[in-house]
Structure 1
Amino acid sequence: MPNTSAERPNIRQVARLAGVSHMTVSRVLNDYPHIKEATRRRVLDVIEELDYRPNMAARALATQKSQRIGVLVDSAIEFGPTSTLRALEFAARSSGYAVSSIALGDGDDLSPQEALDNLTAQGIDALCVVTPRSSSIAALRKISISIPVLVVKPDKDPTFLTVSLDQQEGTTLAVDHLVSLGHRDILHLAGPLDWLDARARERAFHARAKAWGVRERPIVVGDWTADFAYDFAKGIHELPDYTAVFVANDEMAVGLIHGLHDRGFSVPDEISVVGFDDVPLAAHVLPPLTTVRQNFRALGVSAVDMLRAAIEEREIPRVTRIPAELLVRSSTGAPRKTGR
């Protein structure tokens, strides 16, 4: 017969069966350091055997913590921010924390201060800011915040904890792949340069291209949308000098391939295309898209680990950049020999 709420195991039962105090069980649940591994393992085994679930309300009363992380998300409709939010929610839930989130930039007039006031009214223990724009970081600096704050951004910050996916490594992998195929004239179709990730990819592209002696040419600044890249490609009337395009996200890469196809240019026979993100459809467009995969799940785990350490006044983990991975598919190949 299933347990009723009255029959649910409690922390003292776990402690008795594990042969430890209830405080030790609490420390295991909160991932405190300096607990013997054998003791930790014994407690976790009993927890699993009993299917024990901590009483969040009781824990909050005992620790004076809400076990809740606030997340402030800018431009949540875009793939990166929304994927980061989902990853944070999963990692927080796995750690016994809840998440309250508020989105900015969706057409309402909510200011960062008002959003923060809304979150802090819910008793959050820490704040994670998923803000891709430099202007949002500037606004955040003007606000007095008394709880730990982590910002998901590609560069370290003197004010906040930071963690990010490694934009430089991802870009380097993309450029190195094209160079290994023989490309020496590569165009970069960038994202909006007020976006921190777009700026980081643009800087990394120029640095790596220069290191390889790739031809320097002005970048094209897009807006993340497939429509922009499609229109750009439709404006190409003759086969360009460049033989490859590194595109700052997959959505623009898909639009670019569509536009090149409609112009009669072959991908990858005449122009190779590399994207960034590995959106779910990237493997199923024609041709399947070579792209840089970002590990959002690992990003969420690292962010929550850092915030928990800050909340619990433990040493902050040092992992601040999550490695990227290049997925080679059919949208890249050797450069064309001459002409068409």
Structure 2
Amino acid sequence: MTAVDDGSRAGRGRGHGAPSMADVARLAGVSPQTVSRVANNRTNVEDATRERVLSAMRALGYQPNSAARALATGRFGTIGVISFTLSRYGNVRTLDGIATAARAAGFSINLVGITAPTHQEFRDAFTRLSTQAVDGVVIIESEVLDMRTLRLPPGVPVVLSDGYGGHSYPVVDSDQAAGARLATEHLLDLGHPTVWHVAGPQDSNSARHRHASWRRTLERAGRQVPRVLFGDWTAGSGHLIGGYLAGRPEVSAVFAANDQMALGVIRALHEAGRAVPGDVSVVGFDDMPESAYFWPGLTSIRQDFDRNGQLCVDILLEQIRTRAEAPGETHLVPVELVVRGSSGPWHGRPGRGTLPESS
């Protein structure tokens, strides 16, 4: 095997320019071929030897040359990521999971953000990544974009996170429907006659799945389906909607499509003198670390964003390794109901208040 080197083979050592592969080999007490295997993330190196080589690389400040590595392996060691909105908690956590999994596999990430989810902006972002030598692309598609009508250049593996692949691309997503069902059933099991829903934006895949599952759960239980109220994922929109809900005496249970809107709802209920959960129970979705410190602690649906990111990278790397397209299957990551103090039994009587407005 030919060693991949990014410096001249003579006169390069500490104090004489960039360190070479030979310098690393001398310090680690191994052959240049072994350093090449470690630099190219080969598996045929013992763990102790790999760690010795990596320590030598760190000590010398050695950086493998990506172009030379690509010639030796056929890979660039970079995963491209396209995300439509980085200000949202779920997108940031998914990106963190992807970055962690990529780093563990010896890959870096190249991120391109998009503000408007249009086909043209998406094609431009994909083209930019393609020209920057990435091995594959993960698309964090929180907005509704019909991938069936979007023709991507062939040859670059693609995985979607939180989207719809239209049977063309593999999709990794939290089990949004199961989460909404767990939240709604939890409140019904506590005796509440029905559950109101503060939904996310109508152009969000996640919000649409949660909304539809909430409705199905109520219908299967034979309960009245209240008019759905749409927010924009922010605590401010939850607070505004919460003020409306606080003024309706028949409201005893609220499922918010994310924790931030749930926080706004709880604040509005407190301001109106309605106790949580004494008068109104509230359940969120995401289980942000801060949710345990709401007052009261927020019952929420926990998403495993680390697992989501890991699965995206695993599927992408399998395509890169085999040079074969993955089937357009949807891989659902399980979610979990975390019960805290914001949800409790219904203390009302049948017929209390008026019937909710149907949606």
TM-score (norm 2): 0.79
Query: Partner letter of residue 90 of structure 1?
Result: T
The alignment partner of 1:276 has SS state of strand
Q: Which residue of 1 aligns with 2:276?
A: 267
Q: Which residue of 2 aligns with 1:326?
A: 337
The alignment partner of 2:264 has SS state of helix
Q: Which residue of 2 aligns with 1:289?
A: 298
- Structure 2 distance, partners of 1:104, 1:140, is 18
Instruction: Note if contact 1:302-1:319 (Cα within 8 Å) is conserved in structure 2.
Output: no
Q: Which residue of 1 aligns with 2:10?
A: none
CA gap 1:156/1:179 in 2 versus in 1, 3 angstroms: farther
Q: Which residue of 2 aligns with 1:66?
A: 76
Q: Which residue of 2 aligns with 1:204?
A: 213
Q: Which residue of 2 aligns with 1:93?
A: 103
- Structure 2 distance, partners of 1:217, 1:45, is 61
Is residue 2:245 matched to residue 1:254?
no
Structure number with greater Rg is 2
- Structure 2 distance, partners of 1:106, 1:14, is 51
Q: Which residue of 1 aligns with 2:122?
A: 112
Runs of 4+ in 1 over 6 A off after TM superposition: 12-16, 21-24, 106-110
CA gap 1:171/1:154 in 2 versus in 1, 3 angstroms: farther
**C-alpha root-mean-square deviation of aligned residues, in Å?**
3.3
- Structure 2 distance, partners of 1:174, 1:30, is 45
- Structure 1 distance, partners of 2:117, 2:157, is 28
The alignment partner of 1:173 has SS state of helix
Structure 1: tracts of 5 or more residues without a match: 32-39
Identity across matched positions, percent: 29
Instruction: Note if contact 2:283-2:342 (Cα within 8 Å) is conserved in structure 1.
Output: yes
The alignment partner of 1:228 has SS state of helix
Structure 2: tracts of 5 or more residues without a match: 1-12, 58-62, 354-359
Query: Partner letter of residue 79 of structure 1?
Result: Y
Instruction: Note if contact 2:35-2:53 (Cα within 8 Å) is conserved in structure 1.
Output: no
- Structure 2 distance, partners of 1:95, 1:105, is 29
The alignment partner of 2:343 has SS state of coil
- Structure 1 distance, partners of 2:165, 2:309, is 17
Query: Partner letter of residue 106 of structure 2?
Result: G
CA gap 1:255/1:324 in 2 versus in 1, 3 angstroms: same
Query: Partner letter of residue 108 of structure 2?
Result: A
Question: Which residues in structure 2 correspond to 1:37-186 (within 5 Å)?
Answer: 43-51=46-54, 55=64, 57=66, 58-105=68-115, 111-134=121-144, 136-138=145-147, 141-153=150-162, 157-186=166-195
Q: Which residue of 1 aligns with 2:24?
A: 8
- Structure 2 distance, partners of 1:308, 1:56, is 21
Instruction: Note if contact 2:231-2:241 (Cα within 8 Å) is conserved in structure 1.
Output: no
CA gap 1:201/1:9 in 2 versus in 1, 3 angstroms: farther
Q: Which residue of 2 aligns with 1:37?
A: none
The alignment partner of 2:46 has SS state of helix
Give, in angstroms, the shift of residue 179 of structure 1.
2.2
Q: Give per-residue Cα distances to partners, 1:125-173, cap 9 Å, x unaligned.
A: 1111111111x34497144343111111355631111111111221122
Query: Partner letter of residue 196 of structure 2?
Result: L
Give, in angstroms, the shift of residue 296 of structure 1.
0.8
TM-score (norm 1): 0.83
